[in-house]
């Protein structure tokens, strides 16, 4: 049988890999525990209560934002009952089949910055400026007064 004496470099390598394995295990546990439907023996099931967002609902909300006003991705997500879905809103706006009729350029980031637009941020800013929205250093000027919070038609019923 061959014996092997570990030197300091071997120990460092082994310790480093053990830390990586431990980190991977912790990450897997966090992901597992944060999944929408996890049942732990000593805990209640965790069920996601967020409503799914349909493209047509987002487009309907956009039609309620008047010219010269803006809303945010988060405002739309909250109005549709899913406050953490601002990225989903952004994706849906990027798929807008009729940006002339459905004014997705009126949706900006929560800090008042322009945010993305299928035809480029310069075009989005130009459209907003044509409607009377002003900018200072790339941010909507007087953002609190220009911002509107559209309500879903389901909220009014």
Annotated active-site positions, please? 104
* Triad 98, 99, 104: Cα angle to 5°: 130
Beta bridge partners of 135: 140
Helix (H, G, I), strand (E, B) or coil at 132: coil
Residue position matching structure tokens 């493209």: 55
Helix axes 55-62, 86-94, angle to 10 degrees: 80
Phi, psi of 155 (to 5 degrees): -70, -25
């Amino acid at each position: 049988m061959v014996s092997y004496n570990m030197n300091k470099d071997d120990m460092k390598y082994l310790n480093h890999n053990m830390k990586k394995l431990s980190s991977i295990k912790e990450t897997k546990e966090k992901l597992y525990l944060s999944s929408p439907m996890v049942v732990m023996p000593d805990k209640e099931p965790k069920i996601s209560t967020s409503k799914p967002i349909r493209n047509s609902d987002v487009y309907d909300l956009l039609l309620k934002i008047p010219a010269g006003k803006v809303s945010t991705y988060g405002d739309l997500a909250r109005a549709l009952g899913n406050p953490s879905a601002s990225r989903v809103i952004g994706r849906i706006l990027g798929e807008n089949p009729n940006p002339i009729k459905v004014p997705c350029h009126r949706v900006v980031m929560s800090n008042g910055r322009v945010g993305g637009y299928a035809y480029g941020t310069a075009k989005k800013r130009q459209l907003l400026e044509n409607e009377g929205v002003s900018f200072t250093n790339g941010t909507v000027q007087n953002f609190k007064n220009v911002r509107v919070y559209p309500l879903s038609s389901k909220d009014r019923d």
